[in-house]
């Protein structure tokens, strides 16, 4: 087939595309063109040819002695082809490597097995070799796409991206964004996006180390992907096999795989790629993940993890439980994934500077980090390490903002030893074991009764519910999103212990501010149908904090004044959003019917302690529902 194409090109004149000084340094011949020219009557010195090293010749006959591997290779010759996947000697040329030359030392596959599959430009004499057109007396070489690295060749992949490994390559063909490593709910992964970039289009690559595919017993590649949508129209995620780790110059083959599908909002579930057979490839190859997006109103974020190839032979890393002092001694540049550290929670870092760490729980307590020490009473920052708390279960359970009782507790963490705040630290925590110390506050499970109403009164607390689904407060670790739901036995009233209460405060004439149990205010801006939350009402006219409330036969229309969107329950996504048209179920309002109290009954000499429904201690409770502990007495009350 290939010979037919070469002949057709010659007939059509396409074979003369290399007629402008063919075989020069500036215009090297391709292997196909080299073969098409045939064997010259006399040797033509200083001929340049460009191709991929695909094997060698063992014996006197190329048709019988061609080997497309680097096993037991000859040091005296190479086979060169126009494709790194070529395995037919008819479409290759033999290359002589002169004895004791620098060219032989650098190129031969016996001493340099990593060269297999790499592209190179050679200069030599075009003449008969092994009785076919070949290159002899090879005098110089130039690698295309960088010099192959012997140290980076592997025979397996088993990567979850707790960090971007040093052996993987980050490359940008355009734009100012890179892949990065992150974690959520104990899952670590690499992610890419155009969000917050300033130089579209974005062409970002994450490329594996060189893989000697012929030494892989299992040649099936697998991985998992996840994506969030947010209305992206151009963001693309693809997977390739490359001949080098330079995507600008490498030969690239796009792979067919199963990928996650972007939902209308939020993140998709993780999707298995399926088994991708790489057995047709030869020599050293690279697996590359590509994120591409042109200028877009919203950019999707693509995530990839659990990249495996021939991973059955992988040996689990040795896991050690470090002390804080041992991690400090390792230095800031050490990276060790999947390790443990044991110490005491002594404080947090409130801003960006580690030396400003606070020992205790005073001030604006951070939710995103902890300070760990070998002693519960440590106050020397030089004897401590910072710990990053990834969003999700780990942050919810450990952060001192919502769990002040954790101060002084002993904890064992599983994650990565690596630089954080510029000093030795611990990141990407995936598991924890919390020891004794302190008295955790657990809100009682007694329920609040809510009764359906047909009018609203400023300052009172209500639940938003329809179809047996009451809207929950936005999670404490989020600043925006759709509202999840709690199942309730809806009718003229229902009772629940879930955090479904919202207080409607006066914003102006017939308008209200909506505040949740954590005293956060809900607003909308831009084109999003989800909610934003803030600790205080903003005067910024671009942020819509004001809402109107209208009771109709179809339900209650709670409409944002700025963007004109109305709160509705979306049956498809089982959540509440705020939409420009009435396309989903309007809710009803249910007033909290618990008895309002001005103060806690003095049943003991112990002081009264107030906690919101997330268990966070509140020094000066404002209007709303709280948990009150006084001595051994614990109750839920509504404070006016």
Summarised one tens digit per residue, pLDDT across range 85-101 is 788 899 999 999 999 89
Query: Cis bond leading into 597, ω under 30°?
Result: no
- Residue that wins the pLDDT comparison between 447 and 514: 514
DSSP code for 154: B
Q: Which residue has the higher pLDDT, 378 or 70?
A: 378
Q: Give the pLDDT confidence score for residue 442 in this predicted structure.
A: 42
Measured CA to CA in angstroms, residue 40 lies from 24, 129, 135, 442 at distances of 16, 11, 11, 89
Q: For 287-327, what is each residue's pLDDT tens digit? A: 999 999 998 878 889 999 999 999 864 445 567 899 999 99
Q: What is the pLDDT of residue 205?
A: 96
Domains of the chain by range and CATH? 2-143 (2.40.50.200), 151-313 (2.60.120.200), 321-434 (2.40.50.200), 448-592 (2.80.10.50), 596-639 (no CATH)
**Dihedral angle computed from the Cα positions of residues 187, 188, 192 and 197, in that order, rounded to the nearest 10 degrees:** 100
- Summarised one tens digit per residue, pLDDT across range 548-570 is 999 999 999 999 999 999 999 99
Query: Residue 402's pLDDT band (boundaries 50, 70, 90)?
Result: confident
Is 225's pLDDT higher than 80?
A: yes
Q: Cβ(367)–Cβ(350) under 8 Å? A: no
Q: Give the residue from 253, 261, 254, 256 showing the smallest Cα distance to 235.
A: 261
Query: Is the pLDDT confidence value at 608 over 80?
Result: no
Distances in Å between the Cα of 433 and the Cα atoms of 11, 336, 343, 384 are 75, 20, 11, 19
CB of 103 within 8 A of CB of 95? no
Please state whether the predicted TM-score (pTM) of the whole model is above 0.95: no
pLDDT higher than 90, residue 2: no
For residue 8, the Cα-to-chain-centroid distance in whole angstroms is 48
Under the banding of pLDDT at 50, 70 and 90, the label for residue 22 is confident
Burial of 217 (0-12, 13-18, 19+ CB in 10 A): exposed
Q: How far is 184 from 189, CA to CA, in rounded Å?
A: 8
């Amino acid at each position: 087939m290939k010979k037919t194409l070469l002949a057709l090109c010659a007939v059509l004149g396409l074979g003369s595309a290399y007629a402008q000084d063919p075989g020069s340094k500036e215009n090297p011949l391709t292997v196909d063109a080299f073969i098409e020219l045939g064997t010259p009557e006399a040797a033509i010195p200083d001929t340049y040819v460009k191709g991929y090293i695909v094997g060698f010749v063992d014996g006197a006959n190329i048709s019988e002695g061609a080997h497309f591997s680097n096993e037991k290779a000859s040091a005296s010759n190479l086979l060169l082809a126009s494709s790194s996947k070529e395995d037919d000697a008819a479409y290759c040329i033999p290359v002589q490597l002169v004895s004791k030359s620098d060219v032989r030392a650098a190129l031969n596959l016996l001493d340099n097995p990593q060269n297999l599959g790499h592209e190179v430009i050679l200069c030599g004499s075009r003449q008969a070799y092994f009785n076919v057109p070949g290159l002899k007396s090879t005098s110089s070489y130039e690698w295309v796409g960088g010099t192959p690295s012997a140290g980076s060749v592997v025979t397996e992949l088993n990567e979850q991206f707790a960090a971007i490994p040093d052996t993987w390559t980050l490359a940008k063909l355009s734009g100012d964004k890179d892949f990065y490593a992150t974690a959520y709910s104990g899952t670590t992964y690499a992610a890419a996006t155009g969000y917050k970039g300033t130089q579209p289009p974005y062409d970002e690559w994450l490329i594996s180390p060189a893989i000697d595919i012929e030494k892989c017993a299992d040649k099936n590649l697998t991985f998992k992907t996840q994506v969030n949508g947010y209305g992206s129209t151009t963001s693309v995620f693809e997977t390739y096999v490359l001949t080098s780790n330079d995507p600008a110059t490498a030969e690239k083959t796009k792979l067919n795989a199963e990928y996650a599908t972007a939902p209308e909002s939020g993140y998709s579930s993780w999707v298995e790629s399926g088994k991708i057979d790489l057995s047709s490839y030869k020599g050293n190859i690279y697996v590359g993940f590509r994120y591409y997006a042109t200028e877009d109103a919203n950019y999707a974020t693509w995530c990839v993890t659990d990249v495996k190839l021939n991973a059955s032979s992988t040996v689990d890393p040795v896991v050690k439980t470090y002390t804080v002092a041992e991690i400090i001694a390792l230095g800031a540049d050490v990276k060790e994934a999947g390790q443990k550290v044991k110490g005491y929670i002594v404080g947090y870092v409130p801003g960006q500077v580690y030396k400003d760490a606070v020992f205790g729980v005073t001030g604006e307590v951070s939710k995103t980090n902890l300070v760990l020490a070998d002693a519960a009473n440590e106050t020397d920052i030089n004897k401590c390490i910072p710990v990053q708390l990834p969003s999700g279960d780990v942050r919810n359970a450990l952060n001192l903002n919502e769990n002040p009782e954790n101060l002084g507790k002993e904890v064992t963490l599983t994650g990565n030893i690596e630089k954080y705040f510029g000093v030795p630290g611990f990141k990407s925590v995936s598991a924890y074991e919390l020891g004794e110390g302190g008295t955790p506050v657990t809100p009682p499970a007694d329920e609040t009764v809510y009764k359906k109403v047909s009018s609203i009164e400023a300052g009172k607390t209500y639940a938003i519910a329809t179809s047996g689904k009451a809207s929950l407060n936005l999670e404490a670790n989020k600043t925006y999103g759709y509202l999840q739901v709690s199942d309730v036995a809806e009718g003229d009233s229902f009772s629940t212990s879930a955090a479904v209460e919202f207080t409607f405060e006066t914003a102006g004439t017939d308008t209200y501010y909506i505040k949740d149990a954590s005293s956060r205010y809900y607003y909308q801006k831009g084109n999003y149908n989800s909610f934003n939350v803030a600790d205080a009402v903003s005067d910024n006219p671009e942020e819509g904090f004001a809402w109107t409330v209208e009771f109709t036969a179809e339900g209650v229309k709670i409409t944002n004044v700025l963007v004109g969107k109305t709160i509705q329950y979306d049956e498809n996504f089982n959540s509440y959003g705020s939409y420009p048209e009435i396309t989903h179920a309007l809710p009803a309002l249910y007033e909290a019917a618990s008895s309002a109290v001005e103060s806690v009954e003095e049943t003991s000499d112990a002081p009264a302690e107030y906690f919101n429904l997330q268990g966070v201690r509140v020094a000066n409770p404002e209007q709303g529902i709280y948990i009150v502990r006084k001595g051994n007495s614990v109750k839920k009350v509504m404070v006016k």
